[in-house]
């Protein structure tokens, strides 16, 4: 392979990595995961005939959202101590 082709391959790889990183922290991804979590929790609570399932299904969603909000802080702390 010539140098120009190698450079082009590296640029394409870098672009893919940047898109993957952006997806990992995107609001779209977080919202989709939260919605799917709510639907699954709600379905389970309805199947077991739990009381107020519409409200209780928010518990795992809130846990997920809180975990995504705390991860940047934990990541920076981890990187600092590594």
pLDDT tens across 31-71, in order?
A: 999 999 999 999 999 999 999 999 999 999 999 999 888 77
| Helix, strand, coil percentages, rounded to 5, for the chain | 85, 0, 15
Any idea of the CA torsion for 48, 62, 38, 32, to the nearest 10 degrees? Answer: -160
DSSP state of 58: H
Q: What number is the average pLDDT over the span 14-31?
A: 93
pTM of the model: 0.75
Residue 25's pLDDT is 85
Percent of the chain surpassing pLDDT 90? 72
């Amino acid at each position: 392979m010539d140098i120009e082709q190698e450079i082009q391959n590296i640029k394409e790889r870098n672009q893919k990595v940047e898109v993957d990183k952006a997806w990992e922290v995107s609001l779209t991804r977080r919202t989709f995961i939260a919605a799917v979590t709510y639907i699954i929790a709600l379905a389970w609570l309805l199947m077991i005939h739990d009381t107020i399932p519409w409200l209780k299904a928010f518990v795992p969603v809130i846990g997920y959202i809180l975990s995504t909000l705390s991860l940047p802080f934990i990541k920076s702390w981890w990187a600092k101590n590594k």
